[in-house]
Structure formats: structure tokens, C-alpha cells
Structure 1
Amino acid sequence: MIIAIDGPAASGKGTLSKQLAAHYRLPHLDTGLLYRGVALAMTIARQPLEDAALAEAAARNLKLDDLSDPRLRSAEMGGAASIVAAIPAVRAALLDFQRAFANQPAGAVLDGRDIGTVVAPHADAKLFVTATAEERARRRVRELRGRGAHADEAQILADIQARDARDGARSVAPLKAAPDARLLDTTNLDIDAAFRAAVALIDGA
């Protein structure tokens, strides 16, 4: 069974996807880490994020082991990932990797922004997970402060709104729900309630 989970930043799709992978005993891939990995590699090499050729090279050299670097979870890498993800050559370079992961014999859970529309349009179940920008900003603040990091809620809200605009307006694989995706708004749901709602939607798909 392939489960595709899409949605904007801080909507809760990452946490939800991990829970669903454990519930259905499937491997899980946070595809956003691939783009963060490209951004981190370019940042370390002091390369401009907008350079399509360099970004493509970084994408083709990315390894699964690179996705365990804790620096990938920073707010800086989140914004940088949105920039490199808008480059068509980067998305093309990472597409085969994602499809191979999705097409494992037992299936998989993948979360990102174009899983149900581009990576795995044949997925058995598709969810589009969302929440208001304000609630997503509050969640990101709690997450960062929980790790002892400084978090300016107004700035984080502005960053989330900017990412939403970039992700929705890019020419290749823009962020949008697949026509057959089930919508799950987590604005007023805690983690447990969101998980129960997701399982109900998937089992009823």
C-alpha cells in the first residue's frame, strides 16, 4: 500500500506520516528532507541557492545517509529548501529516488508537497493535510523553543506565508491537492485526533 501525504509547511504531515507508517508497518520517507539536503550541501559549499546547475549536481549526489544531519531541521534550511525545490532540474533529479522508494514491494508512506500529484499519482490513499498559517506558525514556534532555539512568531508566520506563496506558484509540481486526495484540516486537532482522522480516511478510501 502506498500512502501519499501532502501539505504545506508545519501542517503536521511529518508527524502524522511517521505515525501512519508505524500503524501500517510501512517504510517512511520525508521527501522535504531531500530538498533540505540539497540546500544544506549548497550552503556548506557556499554556493548560491538559485544556481540551477549547482543545485542539480547537489541533488544527484545526495545519499539517503545525508538525511540524518540534524541541521536539516533548522528554520534556515526550511526556507532554503523552498528555493531549491522551485528549480525544475532539482525536482527531476530527485524524482526517481522518490518513486523507487514509493514502489517498494510492501509499499511506503511518503510526505511532501507533490506526492499525490507527481511522485505517486497511483497511490492507494492520498491525504492533503493543512492548517491555518497562524496555527502552523504557533506549532513551529513550540517546536523550535522545545529544542531550545530562539523563535520569533511574527517572523516565522511571515516565512511560512512566503513559503506557501513560493510552493504554490512554482512552475513545476506546485503545491496543490490531488483531485482524489482527502482533505484533513488539523487546525483544531491535536496529534492523536489527527491520527485517528487520518486512519479513518485511509481505511475508507
Structure 2
Amino acid sequence: MSNQFLDLINKRRTIYAVGKNVEQSPEYLTDLIKHAIKQSPSSFNSQSSRAVILFNAEHEKFWDLVKEKLKSYAKDEESAAKTSAKMDSFAAGVGTVLFFEDMDVIKGLQEQFPSYAENFPIWAEHSTAIAQFATWTALHTDGLGASLQHYNPIVDEQVHAEWNIPASWKLRAQLVFGSVEGEAKEKAYIDDATRFKVFK
């Protein structure tokens, strides 16, 4: 099946081996990321997604914070070394997008539309997921590799302090990106009959 949009999202794969051999400038990539997030739909057009875009030394600082925090979780030296190496592999990239949801926006919607109150946090998760997917696909379409990580909430306090993040912003995911330095693993798909039901 040939479809321009499907062709683009087919390029989006998890790339763990990333580097700093990127031709695009931070300014260009910032515009790309901003555009992807701004064009991502949200419930009630709430636009609750927020992002902190880190490049170069600031990006490396984030992964150093994660690495330091994870030391307290290590069971032994071997696991600590493996975790440290993994964080270093993320730091080897050129940047990281920290995705947040603004809880003040969500609370405001809950107050404004009490009948839907319990759904707004769920819909916010949908919004951030779409923004993450859109950003990830945009980066891949531009030739960059990326992987989505989730080291929240263990580093939330440090992130808010280091980059002066508003208290209402809740960290949801981290997208590390850079030049493609290794191939994506082969992706297997479950049988369509298990996943889909079609009625005509």
C-alpha cells in the first residue's frame, strides 16, 4: 500500500545508537520540534503539552542527572556499570526533548467541564503521546535517529530545579535524538486477526 503519510511513519523506528554527527542546526531542529508539537491535536484544543528542548552540554547534563540518580537503585557494581553505559549512550546524541503536560490547564478544564473531569488526565496522556509521536516522526523524516525514554518521576525534582520548570508541568517522557549510528532492530508484528476486527 502506497500512502505518503504511511511512508513517513514507516521511517519512525527506535534508534538507540545515536551520535552528534548532525548537519541540522539547533535552531532548525528547534523549529521542527516546535512545529510538530504545535500541530499535534489535543482534547478541547487544550494545547496542554509542553516541551523543554536540550542541546549539547545541556542535553548531556540531563543524562548525567539521570545517571547519578540511578546509582542509588543499582543492586551491584555490574548493574551500576551497565546503567551508566546506557545513560552515556543517550548522552552521545545531540539533544533531548523533555515532554511535559501542564496540570494547571488540565485542572482548569476539569473545573470548567465537571462532567468530563475524570477524563481530562486520560486525554492529556493522549495529547502528549501524539506530540511525542509527531516529534519522533518529524526527526526521523529529517534523517535523525531517536528513542523514547521514561525516567520520570525519579528525576522530576532535579529537572524542575535545574531548568526552572513551572511546578504545574508534569514530566511524561524524554525523546533523545542524534545522528543514526546503528540500525534499528527488526520489528515483528502480531497477526492482524488478533489485533483488528472489521465489520462491513
Q: Tell me if both proteins adopt one fold, taking TM over 0.5 as the criterion.
A: no
Looking at secondary structure, tell me which structure has more strand per residue.
Answer: 2
From the two aligned structures, give the one with the greater helix fraction: 1
Question: TM-score when scaled to structure 1?
Answer: 0.28
